Structure 1
């Protein structure tokens, strides 16, 4: 089974459509959306509806912190731009879309694969995996051989030996990486809808459960149109600029 691992869509319809088309060309048979369907971008309704269509066909979908923020009365802890986007997003979604987002799970387990938005030790608290120490904490908090996380917008791969030694590296796109069963792995595919590593191309990854191969991808898309929609919606200019620069 070839799984597409797509996370942090952030209401970016152009990026999502590009990733889905790219995955279809590779004959992906299972889709996993790891949360933050909304927030920041200008197409929350269209993105949510598209993911709902995939969920109806069996896709795995998680809740992210920006999805959860829609249902919080106090968002004062959020960055002002993110808070403004959340408040605007509430007005753009219908009851069915809101219900879908509200009821998404924090974690999904499939055989030796664990999917979470933020981390495995407390997926509902949205703490970041910023480096090796947090990656170790997350891997020690579960039994899965492979954990896949969103939340961090830069593609990263962590690996831990049987003795607990943990390392990390930034993967190159298009190169298949065999995930040895002699190690444990933590995969961060990067953000489809708002990359932050200086490259505006959308991020996602695939995992082949038959060959145990992981592949990261960068997918070009019309980020100028996506950024223009943010500006037209009256959302903070910084959110549009991020799509143009990938930072």
Structure 2
């Protein structure tokens, strides 16, 4: 099975369209969407419709913390500077869209892969995988040999050896990585809609479960137009700037 992974679309239509076209050209058997479809970007309604259309075709879609925040009174774990975009995004979604976001599952299993937005050890608390210890906690919490999470906005890859030692790799765009069956693996494909590693190109990944090969991809898109749309919507300026510089 060839599994396509998209995460943290964040209302960015231009990035989502570019990544989707890229994945269609590459070919895949199953699509997994790892949450955070809304907030930050100027087209949250369109992105919701995109995800719903993919689910109708058989895709697996999870809830992210920004998705949950569309129906919750607070913004658990979020900084104050996020609140203006959260409030604006709520006004752009229909009640049905907000309820649909809140109905999405926290985790899912696809073949040998365990999927979550934030982590697998406490998925509803939205804790970040900040390093090897957090990755190990999620790997220990899952029986699956492969774990995929979003939330971090930067491509990352961790492994756990049979003796309990953890390690990490920095993925290179387009370079297939053989995931040894002697180890267990946790991968973060990065963000489609708001990369934060200094590269404005959108992130995604493809995992071949038969060969055990994972490839991280960066997809250029019209980030200047996405940035302009954020400005036109009256959203905070740092959200527009972030797309231009990928930080």
TM-score (norm. length: structure 1)? 0.97
1:197 maps to which residue?
197
Are 1:52 and 2:52 matched, yes or no?
Answer: yes
User: Quick check: 1:81–1:239 contact (8 Å CA) kept in 2?
Assistant: no
1:20 maps to which residue?
20
Compared CA separation, residues 130 and 76, structure 1 to 2 (3 A): closer
Q: Distance in 1 between matches of 2:194 and 2:25?
A: 23
Q: Distance in 1 between matches of 2:53 and 2:90?
A: 20
The alpha-carbon deviation at position 76 of structure 1 amounts to: 7.6
User: Quick check: 2:157–2:185 contact (8 Å CA) kept in 1?
Assistant: yes
Q: Deviations over 1:43-94 (max 9, x none)?
A: 0000010110000111000000000011111238522332111111111112
The alpha-carbon deviation at position 145 of structure 1 amounts to: 0.4
Q: Distance in 1 between matches of 2:186 and 2:77?
A: 28
Q: Distance in 1 between matches of 2:224 and 2:174?
A: 24
Q: Distance in 2 between matches of 1:45 and 1:23?
A: 22
1:152 maps to which residue?
152
Q: Distance in 2 between matches of 1:77 and 1:177?
A: 33
- 5+ residue gaps, structure 1, are none
User: Quick check: 2:71–2:99 contact (8 Å CA) kept in 1?
Assistant: no
Match runs of 1:28-177 below 5 Å: 28-75=28-75, 78-177=78-177
Number of residues of Structure 1 aligned to a counterpart in Structure 2:
247
Q: Deviations over 1:149-170 (max 9, x none)?
A: 0000110100111111110011
1:240 maps to which residue?
240
Q: Distance in 2 between matches of 1:186 and 1:96?
A: 33
What SS does the aligned partner of 1:124 have? helix
Q: CA RMSD in A?
A: 1.1
